[in-house]
């Protein structure tokens, strides 16, 4: 995910897979790779993600519980928006992308545009 380091992205993946707020230990246990980073490393990563507004945290007893501040899909859409804004030619990028979509992806894009139109009319 754009704007995240390798471990930050792994931590976010754990949070996105969970519907519950997680403790640092829960996040460590949920990491898919073979390495087990130090507790303090993951705690620092979660603190950094909180400062970057990627996660919300709530103090429960002496520890925090962490939850993603937005869904994986919202974060991906935000990254795409940022990328488009940085290109200097968002129209060209969008047209190039649209020409390369599958039939199913084209249907999904069309549905999103229809829903957007309905939302604006309200």
User: What is the third-level CATH fold of 6-68?
Assistant: Arc Repressor Mutant, subunit A (1.10.10)
Tell me how far apart the alpha carbons of residues 21 and 42 are, in angstroms, rounded to a whole number: 15
Tell me how far apart the alpha carbons of residues 45 and 26 are, in angstroms, rounded to a whole number: 14
Q: What are the beta bridge partners of residue 57?
A: 66
DSSP state of 55: E
Per-residue pLDDT of the chain (122 residues; tens, 9 = 90+): 667 999 999 999 999 999 999 999 999 999 987 778 999 999 999 999 999 999 999 999 999 999 999 999 999 999 888 889 898 889 998 999 999 999 999 999 999 989 887 776 76
How is residue 117 written in tokens?
A: 């139109």
- Per domain, the residue ranges of the chain are 6-68, 72-121
pTM of the model: 0.81
Residue 13 and residue 68 in contact, taking contact as beta carbons nearer than 8 Å: no
**pLDDT reported for residue 59:** 96
In a 3-state reduction of DSSP, which class is residue 48?
helix
């Amino acid at each position: 995910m754009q704007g995240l380091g390798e471990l930050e992205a792994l931590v976010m993946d754990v949070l996105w897979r969970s519907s519950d707020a997680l403790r640092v230990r829960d996040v460590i246990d949920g990491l898919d790779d073979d390495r087990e980073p130090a507790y303090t490393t993951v705690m620092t990563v979660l603190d950094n993600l909180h400062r970057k507004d990627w996660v919300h945290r709530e103090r429960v007893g002496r520890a925090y519980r962490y939850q993603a501040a937005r869904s994986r899909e919202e974060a991906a859409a935000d990254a795409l928006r940022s990328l488009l804004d940085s290109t200097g030619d968002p129209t060209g990028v969008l047209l190039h992308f649209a020409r390369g979509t599958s039939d199913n992806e084209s249907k999904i894009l069309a549905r999103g545009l229809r829903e957007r139109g309905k939302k604006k009319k309200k």
